[in-house]
Amino acid sequence: MNIYAPMKRCFCYWRNCRVPGFLYGITAAAEQQAEIVARYLCGDISKYYSGSLLMNILKMHGTELCSLGLAEIPNNDPTYEEIVFIDKAKRYYKKCIVHNDKLVGAILIGDKSEFLEYRNLIENKLELSEKRYSCYAVVTQLNR
């Protein structure tokens, strides 16, 4: 759907929006699309909807599970790195997908406290730099 394509000055707002190659079915995507339409209606034509970060939070009694961005390395591309942390005693699993020193995806099971921080890193395409070393320190402590 091209949300800049008004039909007789009428805009539609879908919960599931198609962007070439993707179907977004999350509330955050709908909110971002609505913001673009509101800006357009107010005369701001500088912004456009280019897609949303794919993310899910599974709500089940006793289990915390969330995913953001890429869940797997695309086509086993060697320019991507997969970092996995597991703490069996605490029933905790974290998998991060990194590309060019930027977080591009994560799966968190057992503890979703880093969800907002990871979402910010992915959405703003921030370099991990020093943050990356603090993550490795966590792995070292967990593996002892």
Whether 116 and 122 have beta carbons less than 8 Å apart is answered as no
For residue 20, CA distances in Å to 1, 2, 50, 140 come to: 8, 10, 10, 42
What is the pLDDT at residue 25? 56
Assess whether 95 and 130 both reside in one domain: yes
Residues in the chain: 144
Whether 3 and 49 have beta carbons less than 8 Å apart is answered as yes
Assess whether 87 and 135 both reside in one domain: yes
Query: From CA 141, how far away is CA 144, in angstroms rounded?
Result: 6
Query: Domain ends where: 34, 52, 70?
Result: 52
3-state secondary structure of 83: strand
Query: Domain ends where: 16, 34, 52?
Result: 52
Query: From CA 112, how far away is CA 47, in angstroms rounded?
Result: 31
Stated pTM of the model? 0.67
pLDDT at 14 over 70: no
39: containing domain: 1-52
pLDDT at 16 over 50: no
Higher pLDDT, 127 or 144: 127
Lowest mean pLDDT among 2-11, 13-22, 61-70, 112-121: 2-11
What is the pLDDT at residue 19? 53
